[in-house]
Amino acid sequence: MISIFDLFKIGIGPSSSHTVGPMKAADLFIAELRAAGVLAQVTRIEAVLYGSLGATGRGHGSDVAVMLGLMGEIPETTEVKTIGQKIADIYAKHELHVAGQHSIAFDPNRDLLLNGMEALPYHPNALTLAAWDGETLLHHNTYYSIGGGFVMTEQEARADAPVIDSMAKPVPYPFRTAKQLLELCQTQGMSMADIVRANERANLSDTAIHDGLMAIWDVMQGCVNDGCHNDGILPGGLNVQRRAKAIYQQLSAADSRKAFNDALAVMDWVNLYALAVNEENASGGRVVTAPTNGAAGVIPAVMHYYRDFCPNYSVQGIEDFLLTAAAIGIIIKENASISGAEVGCQGEVGSACAMAAAGLTHVLGGTPAQCANAAEIGIEHHLGMTCDPIAGLVQVPCIERNAMAAIKAINASRLALKGNGQHVVSLDKAIKTMKDTGLDMMAKYKETAMGGLAINVLDPVIDAGLDTPLGELVEIEKIPTVDVTVNYSQC
């Protein structure tokens, strides 16, 4: 079984697939060198990023993530405020400190290549790392960042190995589908949260489970708080103005009685929570993959709604919310994908919406059947959603998309709670449909920034009424992403 602590991981922005995954892959490569006893002999390292990972590598910080991983940094503990200076030093000195042990010559423009035009066989997000001692190849391997910060090696991909094996001991209530989970709930007289908690207990103590869940919740709350107090322009060249701080000030300054005469005023707060998280993510801040960075704002926003606007809020409710959401995320991960590069944004924001809807339904007193119904509604109404980030940045439409999905999750929960859990479309069928739709989706709509808004918004010909030559891409040239102009002309 996938653990809840694999699904919810503390990391950094802006992308779980394109930032967290590559950093973990590079750290894994270092571990392989150390295990082979050749780390001290390394004099040169080369990295090549392929497919979707290469196409939007710089916009998603993939290049930065690989360099950090080679230096021995991991997403959970890297100090986000020092990243900029560390990377600037590499560019200035053409030198990289491998695993904190010794320095090697490293020029990112020569040794870290972004090949967005070539895809490797097992997943759109792939990178190859190779280490030399002079002209002697010491070790090389290929890694696939398959969504949510999960990484597979070439060997694991070829063998069709399990995505994760963090639960070393067998769990008492294994499940792969919603049908199996609901049957367990019925026969055991347990909730979804109870089932996931019991499975975690096979490998962790109650104290470790509680502390882990509270650490996740603390990072989520801190992320919302930081987003509400930071302002300015998001990095990357699109000149996107952060909005959460201004909205927070407006809502905080409003007379509470007057504000709540508006029956929909709570929506403003939910929107704020989601925007705050995803602006932090876009700026490279610390977030929780929930289940991905691109969708990191949905679940925290709905959990803050539960905390601030639901009278039955409790710490136990927070734990149960996360455990229930994880149950849905595990099923999606097992049967479809949470990777935007694989199935589009339906796999990221759609999955997060389904997870949040189920979690909220449980803490508001819903049955397991109602939780599954809420999740199905959430994912059904994201089917077909493309992943088309402008300039390869996790900003537009990603930030607002999280706010919209958070509102959908709350509405899905309310709809489910008004019913008895029965629905024409089952959760398993909706998940299968998401997978099938993702397989049918053209590659340019799956995180490559080669279609949809990513092209039309930065299309100078359309903007100028077909009068501007293709070469005059002044704003695009300012954006530090790879081959934006080439991608445009090819489309």
Q: Residue 426 corresponds to which tokens in the numbers above? A: 């089952």
pLDDT digits 0-9 by tens, 242-252 = 999 999 999 99
| CA-based nearest residue to 398, from 248, 292, 482 | 292
| Section 98-107 average pLDDT | 94
Q: How far apart are CA 174 and CA 194, in angstroms?
A: 13
Which 8-state DSSP code applies to residue 128?
Answer: E
Q: What is the band of 449 on the pLDDT scale with cuts at 50, 70, 90?
A: confident
| CA-based nearest residue to 402, from 478, 487, 474, 296 | 296
Helix or strand or coil: residue 48?
strand
Q: What is the band of 81 on the pLDDT scale with cuts at 50, 70, 90?
A: confident
Residue 207: what pLDDT?
97
Intra-chain end-to-end CA distance of the chain, in Å = 41
Q: What is the band of 261 on the pLDDT scale with cuts at 50, 70, 90?
A: confident
Q: What is the band of 59 on the pLDDT scale with cuts at 50, 70, 90?
A: confident
Is 331:179 a contact under the CB 8 Å cutoff?
Answer: no
Q: How far apart are CA 285 and CA 223, in angstroms?
A: 8
- Please give the residue that has the higher pLDDT: either 155 or 160: 155
Is 110:92 a contact under the CB 8 Å cutoff?
Answer: no
Residue 100: what pLDDT?
86
Q: How far apart are CA 238 and CA 221, in angstroms?
A: 27
Residue 476: what pLDDT?
35
Helix or strand or coil: residue 267?
helix
Phi, psi of 20 (to 5 degrees): -65, -50
pLDDT digits 0-9 by tens, 400-445 = 999 999 999 999 999 999 999 999 999 999 999 999 999 999 999 9
Q: What is the band of 197 on the pLDDT scale with cuts at 50, 70, 90?
A: very high
Q: What is the band of 165 on the pLDDT scale with cuts at 50, 70, 90?
A: very low
Is 175:427 a contact under the CB 8 Å cutoff?
Answer: no
- Please give the residue that has the higher pLDDT: either 129 or 456: 129
pLDDT digits 0-9 by tens, 363-382 = 999 999 999 999 999 999 99
Residue 312: what pLDDT?
96
Q: Is the peptide bond before 14 cis (omega within 30 degrees of 0)?
A: yes
What does each C-alpha distance from 76 to 219, 287, 288, 329 come to in angstroms?
11, 9, 9, 21
Residue 1: what pLDDT?
82
- Please give the residue that has the higher pLDDT: either 467 or 319: 319
Residue 171: what pLDDT?
95
What's the alpha-carbon Rg for the chain, to the nearest Å?
A: 22
Residue 482: what pLDDT?
36
Q: pTM of whole model > 0.75? A: yes
Residue 471: what pLDDT?
34
Residue 27: what pLDDT?
95
Residue 72: what pLDDT?
94
Q: What is the band of 274 on the pLDDT scale with cuts at 50, 70, 90?
A: very high
Which 8-state DSSP code applies to residue 242?
Answer: P
Phi, psi of 3 (to 5 degrees): -80, 155
Q: Residue 418 corresponds to which tokens in the numbers above? A: 């008004």
Is 379:408 a contact under the CB 8 Å cutoff?
Answer: no
Burial of 156 (0-12, 13-18, 19+ CB in 10 A): middle
Q: What is the band of 168 on the pLDDT scale with cuts at 50, 70, 90?
A: low
Q: How far apart are CA 303 and CA 219, in angstroms?
A: 13
What domains are there in the chain, each with its CATH number? 4-159 (3.30.1330.90), 178-445 (no CATH)
Residue 483: what pLDDT?
36
| CA-based nearest residue to 127, from 65, 54, 32 | 54
Residue 263, pLDDT > 70, answer yes
Residues contacting residue 485 through CB under 8 Å, at least 6 positions apart: 473, 476, 477
Residue 468, pLDDT > 80, answer no
Residue 260: what pLDDT?
59
| CA-based nearest residue to 332, from 379, 390, 278, 401 | 379
Q: How many other CB atoms are found less than 10 A from the CB of residue 225?
A: 13
Residue 255: what pLDDT?
61
| Section 348-352 average pLDDT | 98
Which residue blocks in 56-117 are alpha helix, DSSP H?
A: 62-70, 83-93, 108-111
Residue 481, pLDDT > 60, answer no
Q: What is the band of 17 on the pLDDT scale with cuts at 50, 70, 90?
A: confident
The 3-class SS string of 173-189 reads CCCCCHHHHHHHHHHHC
| Section 136-156 average pLDDT | 93
Q: How far apart are CA 146 and CA 322, in angstroms?
A: 22
- Please give the residue that has the higher pLDDT: either 160 or 490: 160
| Section 127-154 average pLDDT | 94
| Section 182-201 average pLDDT | 98
Is 271:403 a contact under the CB 8 Å cutoff?
Answer: yes
Percent of the chain, pLDDT > 70?
90
Is 41:202 a contact under the CB 8 Å cutoff?
Answer: no
